[in-house]
Amino acid sequence: MLRFSALQPSFDDSLRVFQEPLFRFWPVTETTLEKLEADILKHRQEMKSKEFLNKIHQLLSSRIANKGEIAESSQAQAKGAKAPSGEKLRRDSDGFSLSLDVSQFSPEELSVKVAGEKVTVMGKHEKKTEDEGFHSYKYEEFRRDFELPEDVNPDALSCCLSEAGQLWIKAPLLALPPLNERDIPISTSTDTMNGQSLTSNDQDVLDLIKENGATKEVPD
């Protein structure tokens, strides 16, 4: 009769199985390890690249958003740009004058044009700033039109900008045309008949009538 112990594997046999080299169950060569290591490194590089691209995407998105806000702000500022204040019109014996407060503009940013009796004053102001890689742009513009009086000379228009930022526009009155002087002949009369003035010729006719002793009306 067989013993039970004969059917059971001995402890030494079980231990001997685990003592065998591992590559009997998973034969790994040196080339396989190098490939596995290369795959791991490649995966890490891809992860780093994705992380880097995500950071760049976030940075670009934030800059685009900031630029959009800056553009909207600049447009709002341009729309809300106030026209020059302190406008004064004056007309006296010397002519026509106009003053504007343009202290927020430099002389190079101002222009004055005249077309017939219409005067146009324009101002443009641009400002660009850069702070930590972000750019801002500010633009202001104004335009004012004025009609000159009919009795001023638009060809003699002059402009002057004071140190305080006051723009003066002046136009003198038109010169009066010269008067043409001429002599007017004066006729003389010595008598009247029937309420009419007699000239020297009429007087000769009257004397002739008196000599003949007849009374006639002097023809007109």
pLDDT (tens digit, 9 = 90+) per residue, 44-80? 888 888 888 888 777 777 766 665 555 555 554 444 4
Sign of CA dihedral 75, 77, 82, 84: negative
Each residue's pLDDT tens digit, 131-177: 766 777 788 888 889 888 888 888 888 999 988 889 998 989 888 77
pLDDT of residue 18: 47
Q: Is the pLDDT of residue 192 over 70?
A: no
Each residue's pLDDT tens digit, 77-131: 444 445 566 677 788 778 888 888 888 888 899 999 999 889 999 998 888 877 7
Q: Is the pLDDT of residue 36 over 50?
A: yes
Does domain 87-172 fall under CATH 2.60.40.790? My reply is yes
Helix, strand or coil for residue 177?
coil
Higher-pLDDT residue of 171, 206 = 171
The H or E element containing residue 167 is strand 166-172
The DSSP string of 110-133 is EEEEEETTEEEEEEEEEEEEEETT
Domain spans, the chain: 33-63, 87-172
pLDDT of residue 113: 92
CA gap 149, 117 in Å, rounded: 7
State mean pLDDT over 5-20.
49
